[in-house]
Amino acid sequence: MNRRKVLKTFGTGIAGIGMSPILNAQSDMKRESNNLKGNINHSVSAWCYSKIPFEELVIQSKKIGLVGIDLVGSENWDILKKHDMISTMCYGDLKGKSTRSLINGWCDKQFHDELISNYTRHIKLVSDAGWKNLICFSGSRRGISNEEGLRNCVKGLSKILPIAEKHNVIIQMELLNSKVDHEDYMCDNSRWGVELCKRLNSKNFKLLYDIYHMQIMEGDVIRTIKNNHKFIGHYHTAGVPGRNEIDETQELFYPAIMKAIASTGFKGVVAQEFKPTREDLIKGLAEAIRICDI
C-alpha cells in the first residue's frame, strides 16, 4: 500500500518563526522519559502505519518518544490531544480530498478556486486546534512549464498566505520525486522549490524536504540541506531504493543527514515516512528513531 492509496484514510516549530510552546513542553517531557538526546524532534507519518488503529499508533509513538504524528486530518486531532501529542503536519484539504491535491495542485490555475476555498477554511481549523504546519502540493504539470508553474503557484498561494500569516500557520509544499512515485509532479527538485520560496518571500511558506524523494531526483542531500535550510520547514525520511526502513539495507546514511540538519539550527520536526516491512511494526519504528536520534 502506498501513500496515495491511503491518504483518504487519514485526513506543525520552524527556525525563524519559533516553535509552539506545546511542542517544546511535550518534546522535553518525552525525551526525558525515553532517553532521546533532544537534538531532533521526531514524528511519523500516519499513513505508513494504517494497519495499526490510529489511537494505538499514537500511544506507542508517545512511548517511543515521538512528539506527534504527521499527516493527520481533523477527524483524528482529538485523539492526539487526548494523549498530549501533536499534529506535526496537517492536511490542507477537507476530509477525503487529500489524494486529489497531489495531482490537482497550485501549479495549475484551474484548481485555484477550490484550493483557495479549502485552505482558507483549513488554515483556521489548524490554528484553532493549536497546530502549526499545513501541507500543500504543486500538483501535476500537465504540460505547464516550470516558469508558468512558478507564476501560477505564486498567484494562488499569495491569496492564502496573508490568512496563514494572520493565524500563525506555516504552509509547506512537499518536494516529491516524479521518477518513481509521482509521475509529472512539478515540485520535484529543490531548486524549483527554493525559487518559489524566494518569490513568495513569506516566513509562513516553507518546503517539506523529503529526503527519500530528493535522493531519487537529485542526490547531494547534505549539501542541499545546508545550502537551503532557511527555506526548509519539515523533513521526511525513507530508505532508497524501495521506500522501506532506513537501516543498512539502503543507500542513505541517516545519522550523517540528521547531524547536518541539526547543524543548521533546525528546531522543527523530522518525520519517518517509510513503508515498514518488519513483522513488529512498532519495533521497526523505534529502530528508525534510534538511527535518527543523533
pLDDT of 6 strictly over 50 = no
Q: What is the mean pLDDT of residues 148-152?
A: 99
Count of domains for the chain? 1
- Separation of CA 154 from chain center: 20
Taking the CA atoms of residue 101, residue 83, residue 168 and residue 294 in that order, the dihedral angle to the nearest 10 degrees is: -90
Please check the confidence at residue 23 and state whether its pLDDT lies above 90.
no
Average pLDDT, the chain: 90
Specify the DSSP element, H or E, that contains 219.
none
Question: CA 237 → CA 167, 274, 281, distances in Å?
Answer: 28, 7, 16
Nearest 5°: the CA angle 139, 151, 181 is 20
Identify the weakest region by mean pLDDT among 66-70, 88-92, 236-240: 88-92
- Asked if residue 20 has pLDDT above 70, the reply is no
**Residue 152, burial from CB neighbour count under 10 angstroms (0-12, 13-18, 19+):** buried
Could you read off the pLDDT of 83-135 as tens digits, one per residue? 999 999 998 655 545 556 799 999 999 999 999 999 999 999 999 999 999 99
Where do we find the cell 516524479? Answer: 178
C-alpha cell at 101: 491535491
Counting residues of the chain whose pLDDT is more than 70, the rounded percentage is: 86
pLDDT in tens, 25-60: 444 434 344 789 999 999 999 999 999 999 999 999
pTM: 0.88
- Residue length, the chain? 294
pLDDT value for 233:
99
Residue 213, number of CB atoms within 10 A of its CB? 28
Cα radius of gyration (the chain): 17
Average the pLDDT over 261-272 and give the result: 98
Beta bridge partner(s), residue 135: 172
Q: What is the pLDDT of residue 101?
A: 79
CATH code where residue 80 lies: 3.20.20.150
**Residue ranges making up the domain that contains 264:** 3-292
Name the least confident of 28-42, 193-207, 269-283: 28-42
